[in-house]
Chains A and B, each alone.
Chain A
Amino acid sequence: MAKYLIVGNSAAAVGAVGSIRQVDKDGKIVVVSNETHSLYSRPLITYLLAGQVDKNKMSYGDPMFYRKNDVEEILGKEVVAVHPAEKKVILNNGAALPYQKLLLATGGRPIVPQVEGKDLPGVFTFTTLDDAKKVDEFIKKNEVKSAVVVGGGLIGLKTAEALIARGIKVTIVELADRILSATFDRKASEIVETALRERGCELITKNTVWKVTGRGVVKKVVLQGGVEVDCQLVIFAIGVMPNTELAKSAGIEVRKGIPVDDRMQTNIPDIYAAGDVAEAYDMLMSTKRQIAIWPNAYAQGSIAGSNMAGDAKNYDGSFAMNAVEICGVPTISIGLTDPQEAGYEVLEQYGKESMVYKKIVLKDDVIVGAIFINKIDRAGVFRALIKSKTNVGIFKADLLRDDFGFVWLPETFRKHMVVGEGTEV
């Protein structure tokens, strides 16, 4: 019997395994994944497609991680039911797996719009290693020269970038009036859009796919309003929805995702949730919601694992953020980057030549958001200031300095924030 059963095999699972083993060296850990591949790094799939990472180097960190931590992986199996009263789960082959503590780290799955032609060969989503392999094979077999990526979010853009790297002419179709509209402001979007266009990528905004056509294989997409784009490949990357069905059928409270308390426990004892499927505390919004990014998934998994192993730890919350480089443009966006309501103060620096863009959003002298484009060094200091809700009033004028760092903070702050352990002031 598994002392710890984890459903899902990505960031949250890895975080959980690590922290369980800090406390419990030999309690049995079982990870069930509906994928046939052993633990690998999902975000690497776009790098694999681009040819920047070898297919033998897809493992997450040390390929021996699970073996060293004595984790049993059950691959290619779906958990079809959870029975909280009997503390067991049922797999799609009928097998029952009892558990003492269960972690639902089921993540999300890509949304495919219900449009005509969505099932044509050449239409894909792009979130798993199998997707990457299928797309790669399709490109080779059909000598793909042109593609349409539907969705200008992170997955869409990283996929587009990979296709461009393979010499494919890419058209991105985005429903909003700009790419990365969820995390960027207009200027930041424009800088990345420019970089994409410079690489020959075409952008169509404020539009989406009406239908995909072709006889036996994709030939073109037809957008709303009738605009046609010829292409041999279509990638849908319009968003991801959490895999909550299992939790719902088990009687676990489900909203959009699975709400959890500050120990990452669901409303049913001994059942935890973490990662993209979980709704954990967002300290900027003061509410529970999903923030589907890798660092949060890992941190939540890690907290869940500690608590599952009996080492009580609280999740102190997070907020939206992301780091990504697209077409040679490094970017970091944190927190509220473009609030529309009154009451916010914005500090900005923009170099038309350098394309360096820095933006800091404050409310009542507390930083609540930041954007860094092309110059991202030390962005983490700003994340820390946001997280600690530090009042920056007295050194506000220095925040945009190129050499901004701890030296600009008053000594008491330095002592508190930076300096901390191992430093003397």
Chain B
Amino acid sequence: MWLKELSEAVGVSGHEDEARQVIIKAITDQVDEYRVDSIGNVIALKKGDGSSDLKVMVAAHMDEVGFMISQIEESGLLRFFKVGGLDDRILPAKVVWIGDKKVPGVIGIKPVHLTEQGERKKPVKHDKLVIDIGASSKAEAEKLVQRGDYATFATQFVELDPEGKGWRTVRGKAFDDRAGCAVLIELLATQYPFDLYAVFTVQEELGLRGARVSAFAVAPDFAFTLECTGANEIPTPKDISPSTRLGHGPAITVMDRSFIADRRLVQLLIDTAEELDMPYQIKQPGVGGTDSGAIHRSREGVPSATVSVPGRYIHSPAAILSLDDLDHTVHLMRESLIKLGNW
């Protein structure tokens, strides 16, 4: 399982290099061929056993949300903008890595002593925050950081149940969507009836850009997207649905903002989960979007589905997911793909 390496690799949208290196290392011996396309997608072919003529694409995105340095102040403090969907409220006081050398920095905010009445009730917008690498001048800072450098949360991967007491949860950054990448890598251990194109996409967080061009290049008959989707289980007073729940199995999308899943594929996934007597959940419809949003509109259309590993606190420095959910997702996808080969 490559989740730890994948999670700790830096790969903000548009600069996925380190994540791509981990992926290539992981798949090299498992696939017949692979290539990196013009915008950085890894497109790998696992040849089928020849019993099915289908061409199936399974996608997971390798990019993560993060920051880009926009300005180095005379003081040596760094201004930044957000790359992908980040909630301003979670940014202050977080530790980050900047650039390929992983220069450590912290997102600075003034100490509580200096705040005025009422000030603490309002979130601080990201353009009022700075990243501080401890440099005392622009000249010093420029020795380590350039305008245009990327930054991401500095988070180590942690097993939350190291003694194996049974809850099997882990914490880390970028599970969205390195968890999907980890599942996809596991799927490559099996040969399927058809040619399987495993595509590790770039720039999903900025608008499904890698998926769009890779789907055009692959031109598949069917497609699946593997994701890590938000689980929100913070208690509410009202009887309303959490998007997904940790430990309740793979989340199958019926519809989100980006696409309506192909009903036959959804049924295939549900039937397979039930035959395997495995937990699964229907993701709360209408929220989020995934690479399927771009893939299903490619060329003459591609019937598509999305399966997600639920993750709490995604798009933050510390998300939590269940390895049971991840294992179930691998199992569900492997069996569903084998069945798809018999269609």
Q: Say whether A associates with B.
A: no
* Chain B contacts to A: CB under 8 angstroms: none
